[in-house]
Amino acid sequence: MLDFLGNLKRTHYCGALRASDAGRDATVMGWVHRRRDLGNLLFLDVRDRSGIVQVVFNKETQPEAHAKAEQARSESVVAVEGTVTRREKANPELATGEIDLMATKLHILNNAKTPPFPIEDEISASEETRLRYRYLDLRRPRPHRNLALRHKILLEMRKVMDEMGFIEVETPMLTRSTPEGARDYLVPSRVHHGKFYALPQSPQIFKQILMIGGLDRYFQIVKCFRDEDLRADRQPEFTQLDVEMSFPRQEDIFSVIENVMVRACAVAGIEVHAPFPHMLYKDAIRKYGSDKPDMRFGMELHEVTDCFPAEARQKLQIGGSVFALAAPGAASYSRKQLDEVPEKAKGLGARGVYFVKVAAEGITSTVEKLIGAENVKKLAEACGAKTGDLVVAVSAKEEIKGAEAAALVAGQLRLQLGEALGQIDKTQWKFLWLTGFPLFEWSETDKTWVSAQHPFTGIVDEDLEKLETAPWEVRSKGYDLVLNGVELGSGSIRIHRQDIQERLFKALGLTEEQLRRRFGFFLDALTYGTPPHGGIALGLDRVTMLLAGEKSIREVIAFAKTTAAVDLMAESPSEVDPSQLDDLGISVKPYVLQSECGCGGRWRVFSERMSQGAQQSPGAATCPESPQYFLPLVGISNEGRWWVEHLDAGSRDWKRVLER
C-alpha cells in the first residue's frame, strides 16, 4: 500500500543536514539509494538532488517505521520523518557523514522497478542505455552538477548582457532558410499546402533586421537547428548566445564577449583575464596547423621545405611544402612508439614522415642520406629542437589546400603527440581570437567559391575591388573565439550596404531570380538606412562542456540525441499517423534499393520503412528466371509495406515478385 503525500512538508534537503542540526526534527523526501538490513537496525540511504543522508530504523524503539522500511526497495520514493542525531563514527565520504536521521515515520510514496543501471557517478552502462533511460541517468550527481552549472552560466550571461545594455529579443522558430551552410530542418505548412517553414540555422537575418529596426543591442539565448553530418561534438539542435550590436568596432564586440566569458568562467570557479590575445588565421595555420589552435602548449610548427633539396624532394615524392615540429623528450621513443607516428600521420593525410633525433650522442635522421647532414642540422635548428627531442617533419598527400596541407597534417600530429607526451597543461584556460579569415573557400563538390562563414560577413574595405576579380584574395571581417583548441563561436562585422550585399550574392553565383526569391525581403530591408552592425554567436553547449570539464556536449544537454540524431528516450524521429500526413498533403516515398541479380537481371526493393543497420530480415525473394538465385531482404522492417521487383535480363518491364 502506497502512502499519500497529503499535507506532509519537507523541512530539509537530504544533502543539507549537518552536525549543527543535531537534536532537530527533520522531514526529508527522495529516493531509496541503498538499503542495509542488520536485523534490529535497518539503514536506508535516502537521496535527492542535493545528496544523500543515512536514515536509521530501530526495531525496538520504532517498530512500525522499521516494519515499513522492510518494504522499501531501491529507488522507491519515500518521505521520512525523524530526528537528526550525531553519529559516533563520522563517514568522511559523505557531506552528511557526521549525522544520522533516526526515523520515527516512513511514508512510501511510490514504487520503482529495478533500474537498468545503478544511480551512481561511476557506472559502466553504455551511453545508449543512459540516453534511453535519461530520467534515471539524470538522477546521478554528475548530470545534476552539469545542468546546475549550465543554468548558472546562462543566468550569469543574461545578467552581464543586461548590464551592458543588451536586450533579449525572441526570434521565430518557424521561419525561412538562413544560409549557415547546413541543410534545413523543414516544417510543412498545413494551411499553405505545399509550402514549408524552415527551423532557423541561426537567427542571423532576424538579428540584423533588429539592428535595422533600431534595437541597437540585441542578444538571445536561442536554439538553432542544422541538419548536418553529425560528429561527436555536434547535435542537430544546439544553443547559442546570439549577439548583435550597431555601430561597433571589432574590439567593441570582443570586449562584450570577453566580459561574458570572464564572468561565465568565474561562475565555474575559473579565473581568466581579458583582453584575450589575437592571432591571424594564416599564422594559426602556419604555426599550429589549425584554425582553432590549442594554446595550452608549444610545439609550434615550422616550415622546413628548403631543408629538402630538389633531388630529395623528387625521390620522396614531395609535391608541396614540408612542416616540422620538435616533440620534447621523444628522442627516447622506442622502435614501436616511433613506428606508430607515421602510421598516425598517414591516417591524417601525410605522404611522408621524416624523423630527426636530437640525442646526446649527436643528431641522426631517417633522411640523412637524402638531404645531407647539413640540412638535418638546419631542420633541427629550425624547430628549436633541444637534446632529447624528436623532430617530426611531414609532407602532405595532396596539395589541395595549397601550402597549408602539410601544416594541417602537422597540426593534427602536434595535438596527438602533445597529448601523448603530456605537454598539454590541463589547468590552463587559453582563449584566443582569430581574425583575418578569407571570405571565400573553394568547394570541391560544387566547383565554386562559397562563403567561408555565412554570406552576410563583412569584407575588408581594401579588398572590395577584388570581389569579382580575385575572390580568393578577399579577406573577411569575421572572427572566431577559441578556447583550449575548441571553437566556441564566430561572428563578424556585417555587410550593411545593399549594393555590396548584392555584389557578394552575385559573386557566390546566385542569379537575380534566386536572389529575389531567397533574400529579397532582406535586400529590401537593407535599403532603408541600415546602420553598420556586427555580432557573434557562442555555442553554449561547448562552453558548458569545457567549463564543466566534460569531454562530450551530450553530458551537458538534458535530453541529448545520439550521433545519428536520434532521441532514444522519446524515440524520435518517428513515424506519424497517416491522417497527419494527409492533413499536410504529404506522402512518403518508399525507399528504393537496387542490386544485380545472378541471372543477369536486376532487383529493386521498395520499402516504406528501412531499419537502419538492422539485421532482421523478412526472408528472401527468389529469382523468377533462375530459381537458384535469391535476394536476402536485410534491413527491411516488417512493420511497413514493402515489395520486391525483378527485371529480367533484356526486358524493360519490372515484375513484382513479392509483396507485403
Q: Which residues bind ligand ASP (CB under 6 A)?
A: 180, 202, 204, 454, 490-492, 535-537
Q: Which is nearer to ligand ASP, 239 or 423 (CB)?
A: 239
- 74: exposed, middle or buried (C-beta count within 10 Å: 0-12, 13-18, 19+)? middle
Residues in the chain: 660
Q: State the cell numbers at 563.
A: 550521433
- 19: exposed, middle or buried (C-beta count within 10 Å: 0-12, 13-18, 19+)? middle
Q: Which is nearer to ligand ASP, 202 or 484 (CB)?
A: 202
- 8 Å CB contact between 399 and 408: no
Q: How far is the CB of 454 from ligand ASP (least distance, A)?
A: 6
Q: How far is the CB of 565 from ligand ASP (least distance, A)?
A: 19
For residue 269, which amino acid is it? G
If phi over 0 gives left and psi between -120 and 50 gives alpha, with beta otherwise, what is residue 406?
alpha
Q: How far is the CB of 69 from ligand ASP (least distance, A)?
A: 54
Q: Which is nearer to ligand ASP, 290 or 490 (CB)?
A: 490
Q: Which is nearer to ligand ASP, 146 or 490 (CB)?
A: 490
- 8 Å CB contact between 262 and 272: yes
Question: What 8-state DSSP symbol labels residue 353?
Answer: E
Rg over alpha carbons for the chain, rounded to the nearest Å, is 32
Q: How far is the CB of 534 from ligand ASP (least distance, A)?
A: 8
From the list 434, 170, 166, 172, the residue with the least C-alpha distance to 292 is 434
Q: Which is nearer to ligand ASP, 120 or 168 (CB)?
A: 168
Q: How far is the CB of 234 from ligand ASP (least distance, A)?
A: 13
Q: State the cell numbers at 605.
A: 526493393
Q: What is the crossing angle of helices 512-526 and 498-507, to 10°?
A: 160
Q: Taking the CB of residue 283, how many other CB atoms lie within 10 A of it?
A: 13
Q: How far is the CB of 539 from ligand ASP (least distance, A)?
A: 8
Determine phi and psi for 573, rounding to 5 degrees.
-70, 160
Q: How far is the CB of 201 from ligand ASP (least distance, A)?
A: 7
Q: Which is nearer to ligand ASP, 130 or 533 (CB)?
A: 533
Rounded to whole angstroms, how far apart are CA atoms 588 and 602? 24
Q: How far is the CB of 203 from ligand ASP (least distance, A)?
A: 7
Q: Which is nearer to ligand ASP, 182 or 421 (CB)?
A: 182
Q: What is the crossing angle of helices 250-267 and 141-163, to 10°?
A: 140
Q: How far is the CB of 250 from ligand ASP (least distance, A)?
A: 13
Q: How far is the CB of 488 from ligand ASP (least distance, A)?
A: 11
3-class secondary structure per residue, 87-147 = CCCCCCCCCCCCEEEEEEEEEEEECCCCCCCCCCCCCCCCHHHHHHCHHHHCCCHHHHHHH
Q: Which is nearer to ligand ASP, 182 or 262 (CB)?
A: 182
Q: Which is nearer to ligand ASP, 487 or 567 (CB)?
A: 487
Rounded to whole angstroms, how far apart are CA atoms 623 and 602? 9
Q: Which is nearer to ligand ASP, 244 or 648 (CB)?
A: 244
